[in-house]
């Protein structure tokens, strides 16, 4: 479901009202660095239109979502000299979605960065 949400932090970032460190910008998605990163390079892939969860994003955009994610992940792995990565997406509050705007976390990983738990 597409919605306009003027109070949404990600919508405000996309409009340029809140500064961010852009990794990549495509037609329908933006990739920015997370302000509270789990690891060096931790970034978010965010639809430019307001969709609450993955279930609301039109299937016609999934190919672009995947391509943008892959391109950004390759750039982040190179930038951080990482050996791997995690992809994480929380949908709905019960699954620890803190911002009600769909977003996918790219978390570059190094052997020495330690383990962390996604779920508290």
102 by Cβ neighbours in 10 Å (0-12 / 13-18 / 19+) ranks as: buried
Residues 6+ away with beta carbon under 8 Å from 104: 44, 45, 46, 65, 69, 87, 88, 89
50, 101, 103, 105: which one is catalytic? 103
- Specify whether 50 is catalytic: no
Backbone angles phi, psi at 66, to 5 degrees: -65, -45
Check if the beta carbon of residue 108 is closer than 8 Å to that of residue 80. Answer: yes
Q: Which residues are catalytic?
A: 103
């Amino acid at each position: 479901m597409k919605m306009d949400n003027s109070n949404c932090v990600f919508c405000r970032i996309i409009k340029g009202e809140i500064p961010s460190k852009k990794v990549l910008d495509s037609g329908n998605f933006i990739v920015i660095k997370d302000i509270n990163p789990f690891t060096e390079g931790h970034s978010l892939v965010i639809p430019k239109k307001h969709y609450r969860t993955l279930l609301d994003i039109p299937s016609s955009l999934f190919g672009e979502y995947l391509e943008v994610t892959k391109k950004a992940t390759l750039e982040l792995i190179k930038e951080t000299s990482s050996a791997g990565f995690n992809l994480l997406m929380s949908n709905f509050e019960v699954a620890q979605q803190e911002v009600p705007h769909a977003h996918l976390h790219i978390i570059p990983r190094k052997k020495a960065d330690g383990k962390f738990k996604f779920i508290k």
